[in-house]
């Protein structure tokens, strides 16, 4: 049962963070190594709905159409990742939540751009398609340049909906990097990530978001 009326009172900050969580579900399913045509189609549809409506849902909390789009996007993304698993952003989100009490959606939002940059070489074509879904002009660009536009698009989306948090805001320090990275490496989501990270890679991704 997807009833947008039930989400009208959700505060903008929670709408933003949970919206990025839904996006991360769709995006990580889309680019990982377990993706397949049906999950890809669902992920693309989910991302298109989010590109169209997340800004509106945050800026206009009473916008029923935007709320309905986000509910549908979240549900479709869940159907996609149910058969594919996710990626490094979600691998990080679990220890970040348990150790530093960072809300799950916000933890994903903090890590997603850095994870996308790291993963670009593992699936350039998919990241270029993500850029297009989010309205980026990719005509005349190399595949790498087009893929890089996907990160820019997601960073702009997060800025537009007021997500500016860093890990340091939750009292995470350099001393915590090893333990958080090591715990994240144990996640089953690492196995399907489009680029295989080392422990040092994981620490570097966290360090970039302190």
In percent, the amount of the chain with pLDDT more than 70 equals: 100
pLDDT tier, 108 (very low <50, low <70, confident <90, very high otherwise): very high
Specify the pLDDT at position 6: 96
Q: Please, is 45 exposed, middle or buried when counting C-beta atoms within 10 Å of its C-beta (0-12, 13-18, 19+)?
A: middle
pLDDT tier, 46 (very low <50, low <70, confident <90, very high otherwise): very high
pLDDT digits (tens, 9 = 90+) for 192-203: 999 999 999 999
pLDDT digits (tens, 9 = 90+) for 120-138: 999 999 999 999 999 999 9
CATH class of the domain at 4-207 = mainly alpha
């Amino acid at each position: 049962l997807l009833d947008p009326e039930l989400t009208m009172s959700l505060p903008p900050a929670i709408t933003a963070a949970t919206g990025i969580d839904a996006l991360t579900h769709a995006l990580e399913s889309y680019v990982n190594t377990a993706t397949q045509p049906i999950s890809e189609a669902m992920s693309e549809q989910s991302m298109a709905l989010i590109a169209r409506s997340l800004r509106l849902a945050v800026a206009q909390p009473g916008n029923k159409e935007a709320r309905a789009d986000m509910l549908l996007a979240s549900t479709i993304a869940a159907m996609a990742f149910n058969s594919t698993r996710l990626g490094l952003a979600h691998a990080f989100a679990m220890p970040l939540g348990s150790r530093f009490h960072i809300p799950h959606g916000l933890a994903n939002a903090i890590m997603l751009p850095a994870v996308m940059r790291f993963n670009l070489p593992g699936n350039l074509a998919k990241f270029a398609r993500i850029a297009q879904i989010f309205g980026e002009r990719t005509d005349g660009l190399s595949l790498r340049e087009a893929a890089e536009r996907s990160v820019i698009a997601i960073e702009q989306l997060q800025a537009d909906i007021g997500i500016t948090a860093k890990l340091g805001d939750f009292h995470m320090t350099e001393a915590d990097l090893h333990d958080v990275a090591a715990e994240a490496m144990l996640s089953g989501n690492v196995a399907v990530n489009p680029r295989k990270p080392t422990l040092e890679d994981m620490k570097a991704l966290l360090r970039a978001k302190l």
